[in-house]
């Protein structure tokens, strides 16, 4: 009997840990909402102030594994919520682990669709592992404002 109680307790702990891990993850709805909030913030405050806020890891546009990235339609990073070293760099030729030119594809989608979801692989800031990711983007003038969720 004691063995069953211990096994049950262990399963309960594993289940609770899994639920806590899932709670740390942003949802697709949250990503879409954050991108819309970011677009509104640019419109209300201007690009310079907005991009600084998007790049602030402790700011209002970073939530768990969700953050904002802004790409110019030329592939140059304007703001990045996880890696400010990328700002000003042309990432058009960036590839994921499968060889997908995800920035080039993202820019083409922004030019043709305005708002969209895109799948690729990227390093998860929580696990530090390359994970499948879905990025939601909206075109705003000459940039794409994006936020994504990990599908692990």
Domain borders along the chain are 26-150
DSSP 68-85: EEEEETTSBEEEESS-GG
Q: Distance (Å, rounded) from C-alpha 27 to C-alpha 100? A: 24
C-alpha 104/C-alpha 37 separation (Å) is: 24
pTM for this model (two decimals): 0.82
- Fold assignment, 26-150: Beta-Lactamase (3.30.450)
pLDDT of the chain, 152 residues: tens digit per residue: 544 444 444 344 333 333 344 458 899 999 999 999 999 999 999 999 999 999 999 999 999 989 999 999 999 999 999 999 999 999 999 999 999 999 999 999 999 998 999 999 988 877 889 999 999 999 999 999 999 999 85
Assigned token pair, 143: 């940039």
């Amino acid at each position: 009997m004691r063995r069953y109680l211990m096994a049950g307790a262990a399963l309960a702990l594993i289940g609770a840990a899994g639920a806590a891990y899932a709670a740390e993850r942003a949802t697709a709805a949250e990503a879409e909402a954050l991108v819309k909030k970011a677009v509104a913030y640019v419109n209300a405050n201007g690009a310079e102030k907005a991009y600084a806020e998007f790049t602030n890891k402790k700011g209002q546009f970073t939530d768990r594994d969700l953050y904002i990235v802004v790409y110019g339609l030329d592939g140059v990073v304007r703001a990045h919520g996880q890696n400010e070293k990328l700002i000003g760099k042309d990432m058009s030729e960036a590839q994921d682990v499968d060889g997908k030119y995800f920035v080039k594809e993202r820019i083409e989608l922004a030019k043709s669709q305005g708002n969209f979801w895109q799948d690729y692989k990227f390093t998860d800031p929580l696990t530090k592992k390359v994970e499948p990711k879905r990025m939601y983007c909206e075109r705003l003038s000459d940039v794409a404002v994006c936020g994504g969720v990990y599908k692990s």
